[in-house]
Amino acid sequence: MPAISPAFANPVFDTQATFRAVMDAMARPGETRAVPAALTPPAPLSPSAAALALTLLDYETPFWLDAALAEVDDVARWLKFHTGATATANPEQAVFAFAADPLALPPLGAFSQGTPDFPDRSTTLILQVAAFTGGLPLTLSGPGVAGRRVFAPSPVPPDFAVDLRANTGRFPCGVDIIFAGPGSVAALPRSTRIATMRTDEDR
């Protein structure tokens, strides 16, 4: 059996700190929050995405990995060992989906959208990005945003803005997205309204 690297040094405090960061990030779409990142998960899983996994996953939450993560067996093994969660190849069955290569992400509609009775059953997407600035500029408005906020994660999938708007249109269904950047996270919940800088017609 290949070596599995350790998880958090202080599981209770570190997962609480990470949970707090995710909760605040969800409440303030597009703002970044620092997460504890002293982890050495198997590449290409990033330390911040690993911190989210250790905090959010348990035996009841099947996870889906994109092609970049799935081709390294150690990633799924590490997640299963530390969280007890099971892997699924079907994005519709995943409670959490991890993507190391946002450019190859399937459309957001491919994931579980929840149902009108149980919108909470949708997939939460964890997208590893290199930066929160300098990418596709999105103008955010809606709950948790005072006025407008510009958020430009990089890299993002092609046609991401169109896909995000379709996702918002499915409210109360739809997926929530957490961006895992180096050392910090940001989020785009399904309730956030999105406009790109150039076509600012969306309200």
Partner 1 sequence: MRQAAMATFAAAETAELRVALESMGSTDAVEIRKPETGLVMVRGRIGGDGAPFNVGEATVTRCVVRIASGETGFSYILGRDHEKGRLAALCDALWQNRDRRAEIDTLIIAPVRQRLAREREESRARTDATRVDFFTLVRGED
Binding site residues, partner 1, CB under 8 A: 1, 3-7, 11, 81-82
Q: Which is nearer to partner 1, 81 or 118 (CB)?
A: 81
**Alpha carbon 146 to chain centroid distance?**
23
Spell out where 25-164 has E strands.
Answer: 33-34, 63-65, 96-99, 124-128, 138-141, 149-151
Closest distance to partner 1 from the beta carbon of 68 (Å): 25
Per-residue exposure over 7-28, b if at least 16 CB sit within 10 Å of its own CB, e if not: bbeeeeebbebbeebbeebbeb
Closer residue to partner 1 in complex, CB, 83/128: 83
Supply the minimum distance, in Å, between the C-beta of residue 181 and partner 1: 27
Task: Tokens for 31, please give them.
Answer: 């703002």
Which is nearer to partner 1, 84 or 143 (by Cβ)?
Answer: 84
Nearer Cβ to partner 1 (54/125):
54
Distance in Å, CB of 156 to partner 1, minimum = 35
Whole-number minimum distance, CB 72 to partner 1, in Å? 18
Question: What does the block give as tokens for 127?
Answer: 């997208």
